[in-house]
Amino acid sequence: MFGNISIWQLLIVLAIIVLLFGTKKLRGIGSDLGSAIKGFRSSVKDDTDKDSDEPPAQLSEQAKTDADKAAATHTAPKDKV
């Protein structure tokens, strides 16, 4: 992919980017991107931790109680004549 691009060409592109945006703005973008990645990783980790904490039997009991509640509240439609 980068076979035809030399290190000097990459350095020139980097220098142009620094001149256009400035180091403060690039530093801010980098820190924002880093905090977004950290937040994403922690949320994914929290989701997997919550899933692993609950035993499968408890999940099936919850599903049964939800189904019972739904069946109790569901009424059959009346035929209109």
Tens digit of each residue's pLDDT (9 = 90 or more) over 23-33: 888 889 889 99
What are the b/e assignments for 39-68, b being 16+ CB within 10 Å? eeeeeeeeeeeeeeeeeeeeeeeeeeeeee
In the chain, what percentage of residues exceed pLDDT 90?
27
Residues 44-68: tens digit of each pLDDT: 888 777 666 555 555 466 666 676 7
Q: Phi and psi at residue 29, in whole multiples of 5°?
A: -65, -40
pLDDT at 77 over 70: no
Q: What is the pLDDT of residue 1?
A: 53
pTM of the model: 0.42
Residue 58 has what pLDDT? Answer: 53
- What are the structure tokens assigned to 43, written together? 């949320």
